[in-house]
Amino acid sequence: MNHEEVAIISAVRSPFGKFGGALKDFSLPKLGGLVTAEAIRRAGIAPDDVEEVATGVNLPGADRSIARQLLIEASIPPNRVAYTVDRACCSSMAAVNMASRSIRLGEVNVAVAGGAENMSRVPYFLTDFRWGHRLGDVNLKDQLVIACPMTGKPRAVQAGEEAVEFGISREEQDRWAWRSHQNYFKAKEASHFKDELMSIEVPQERGQPLLVADDESPRSDSTLERLAKLPTIYGSPTVTAGNAPGLSTGASAVLLMSTEEAKRRNKKALATLMGWAMASGHPDRIASIPAESARLSLDKVGMTIDEIDLLEINEAFAAVPLVSTLIMAGRDRKKAEAIQTKTNVNGGAIAMGHPTGATGARLIITLIYELRRRRRAAGGTRPYYGLATLCGGIGEAEAVIIKVDG
């Protein structure tokens, strides 16, 4: 068995719903179960063939054992292993990497990994009510006011401060946000999302279910002028509601096999996972830390950033891809601009949304299908390589390198 590379046999995601949108009532197991079942169906195998399920979740609310529930929702036999991964926004990419580790170790041959998030269902918490409450106000804690638990800084402040540190202006961040929407709609018009998306049926009180087939957040009317007028948020020096993503709902899944198992079953891989890396740093390092995980993953496979055909860097804030590409370029502005031209070519989270537990796997999925399109268009004479990376809470990052050669 090849213990170095892992085959990705299928890759799919739900549409990403906006905050309070059409998908707001879905539980994480239900939505994730639908997408996992679709990944299995697209792979052309039976649910019984799946040996392990890894599910990334960042904001589980009051629910627990979500991967286990998801497994049952997807009709996978209950004697299979499932585990839930929490590594903040990195969670679903970490789930993919952990499932691939099981395959590389020879413990399983077939696994499903991905993530789910419904930020519309995140509850308020009464953290001081366990032992009763007498006089005085009642305080509700809102998990969606996202700040670092170690430093107390809102994420928007962390990203903005790093942008200032690296000389990335508010105008550059607004321009990147506008680019995200523009690239998204160009890709949609060209049907570039048709392979990665599945439709979700939403039950209605009366009549037929509502069919949700497209992402809800992208704004075709976004302009630089409108973005420039928005105020900064949470005291950030540069971050606004326009150059950051919304609070989203969605799920993603990839079906993985050992390369030997794929050959045995005569399954053609969409792509191959070549390298992966986790990185950690100071809790305030949110915009720069993806560059570190990218460096580590490139070192593992003996490649340089110049050999990568496409990148996906999560737009947790516009500052993140701007700062990270500048670091990847050794702070050479011209080289950074060259890297940026091959980054998030179909738009990113600022346009399509950022369901935090599902985004990491979504980056991989989007990257796979775009690499395949470009390789076909070029005549398929050489392998195409992609790098996906993103930041997570408290100074974390994750990266993967994939190869498309079939």
Active site residues per annotation: 89, 354, 391
Of 297, 257, 288, 267, the C-alpha closest to 385 is 297
- E strand or H helix at 68, and its extent? helix 66-73
* DSSP structure string for 79-129: TSEEEEE-BTBTHHHHHHHHHHHHHHTTS-SEEEEEEEEEGGGPPEE-TT-
Q: Whole-angstrom Cα distance, residue 17 to residue 247? A: 9
Q: Are 281 and 395 in contact (CB under 8 A)?
A: yes
* DSSP structure string for 364-401: HHHHHHHHHHHHHHTTS-S-EEEEEEEEETTTEEEEEE
Instruction: For residue 279, list its beta bridge partners.
Output: 397
User: Which positions ≥6 away from 54 have C-beta within 8 Å?
Assistant: 67, 82, 83, 85, 95, 96, 98, 99, 111, 112, 113, 114
The total of other beta-carbon atoms located within 10 Å of residue 197's CB is 18
What single-letter amino acid sits at 308?
Answer: I
- E strand or H helix at 44, and its extent? none
Q: Is 218 helix (H, G, I), strand (E, B) or coil?
A: coil
Counting runs of H as helices and runs of E as strands, what totals does the chain give? 12, 13
Structure tokens at 206: 């009366």
Q: Whole-angstrom Cα distance, residue 55 to residue 65? A: 10
Q: Is 277 helix (H, G, I), strand (E, B) or coil?
A: strand
DSSP label at residue 232? B
Looking up tokens 């679709």 gives 38
Of 193, 184, 220, the C-alpha closest to 14 is 193
